[in-house]
Structure formats: C-alpha cells, structure tokens
Amino acid sequence: MTHWQPLETPIGELTLIGDGESLTEILFANSPRREALRQSLPQGELALAARELTAYFAGTLQSFTVPLAPRGTPFQLRVWELLRQIPYAETTTYGALAARLGNPQASRAVGLANGANPLPIIVPCHRVIGANGQLTGFAGGLPVKSWLLDRERHCKFFGADRE
C-alpha cells in the first residue's frame, strides 16, 4: 500500500512516499504534487528512509541503504543509477554523465532525466552542475541545491560535529 510520511529537515519539510517495501518518491515542500498526494494517500511510517535522511542532514551518513523503487523510463533509470555513483561532496556535469552513457551528445536528455528524478538527495541529482561550473535547475530550488553541496563539502572536510 502506498503511503506518505512528513520529515522535517534543515531544507524544509520533505514528504516521503513509499509502497510498503521501498521508498518511491521524495517531494520538496514547493512541489505542486505534494498536497494532492498527501490528500489521496494514507499517512504511514517510512522509518528507515526518515532515519537515513536525518543522519544525512546531521552529516553522519554519506550513502543510503533504504530500498528504492523509482518509476521511470529505461533511460531515466540508467541516468538515476549513474547519479547514485557520484561520490559524496563531489559534482559532475550533464555532459560527463552523457559520455558515461556512451552518447556525449545526450547531455540535454540527461538533464531532462535528472530533472525527473523522483528521489532527490538519495539519488543525488543535486551533484550535477552545468558545464561552466554553475548550478543549474533543481526541484528544491537553487538555494537548496547550493546548501546541500555546501553541507556535504563541510561534513566531508570537517566532519559532522564541527559547524
């Protein structure tokens, strides 16, 4: 049964959505789908996802173990799998991901797949930047993307207990 759970984080409330076995989606507070889903689905508990995201925001977790079940096209699923391979606190570009897929000309398609990622943070689409090194679109907004990248770099360099 699909259900949802709210989670307060330093970047605002996230809505976690799961199917009883896996996490299927994470929605930012600004998502236009958020209220409709929360009204149409029962509230439930997604304990592992909530614990791991809380630990990530605390700076004590760099990789996730929560089972995931994103829904997308075969191409999107391939892109999302590549996103999960981007090391914590590092970035890459759309073009580099396209090249890893074997089609360096597919950077726009990679960007579209990145933008359709239903599991931001856990599938770290925030770690993808433009070829010029600038931050580009993010469902949670560019300030949130910047915050996530800065937080990861800080925690990697200083550790979780130094602000």
Say which of 125, 144, 148, 155 is annotated catalytic. 125
Per-position DSSP letters for the chain, written without gaps between them: --EEEEEEETTEEEEEEE-SSSEEEEE-TT-TTHHHHHHHS-B---HHHHHHHHHHHHT--SS--S-B-----HHHHHHHHHHTTSPTT--EEHHHHHHHTT-GGGHHHHHHHHHT-SSTTTS-GGGEE-TTS-----TT-HHHHHHHHHHHHHHHHH-TT--
- 125 given a catalytic annotation: yes
The catalytic residues are 125
